[in-house]
Amino acid sequence: MSLEIIPEPVANVKRALTALGAQDTVTVFDSKVPTAAAAAAALGCDVAAITNSLVFDLEGAPLLILASGSAKVDVRKVAAQLGTGKIRRASPDFVLAHTGQEVGGVAPVGHPEKIRTLLDSSLKIQELLWAGAGDHNSMFSISYEDLHRITGAEELHVR
């Protein structure tokens, strides 16, 4: 009998999902799915249904933006809506330090500390969303409503 070894970041996401009252729908793929296009191809869904978890540096604090895989985040527009200073793409080290997950596998949940989160309101039109689950080989499915609820995210137009 062999035991499947689950990487710690993925185990954290699985625990977070169930602790927050969501279903553990984590799927592990044989190959890496580090981009929205790769994930959509592996899942056979529209790239717009992929929820990218993008970490930005907002004056030294992490800001997590959950955006459609088909969207390009307009950081100037987001900063203006938030009434904040400059938002910069975070370095891989910054992302790992604040999420416990590597770029390309960042999940909306399962981080060491709560991160301020924004949710791309354009994702509402998708019946089912897919998001990273902590590493390059894992994704989980969730409804927009449940993703909004478990992340406590602020809804915003990010493009």
Give residue-wise pLDDT tens across range 134-143: 999 999 999 9
For residue 1, the model assigns a pLDDT of 40
**Quick one: what percent of the chain has pLDDT higher than 90?**
96
> Residue 2 above 60 pLDDT?
no
> Residue 3 above 70 pLDDT?
no
> Residue 4 above 80 pLDDT?
no
For the chain, the 3-state helix, strand and coil shares in percent, each to the nearest 5, are 35, 25, 45
Give residue for tokens 């990273």: 132
pTM for this model (two decimals): 0.95
For residue 60, the model assigns a pLDDT of 94
Strand pairing partners for 120? 156
Q: Tell me: domain 8-156, CATH 3.90.960.10, correct? A: yes
- 19-76 per-position pLDDT tens digit: 999 999 999 999 999 999 999 999 999 999 999 999 999 999 999 999 999 999 999 9
* Domain spans, the chain: 8-156
Q: How confident is the model at residue 85 (pLDDT cuts 50, 70, 90)?
A: confident
Q: E strands along the chain, which residues?
A: 27-28, 50-58, 61-68, 87-89, 116-120, 129-132, 138-142, 154-156
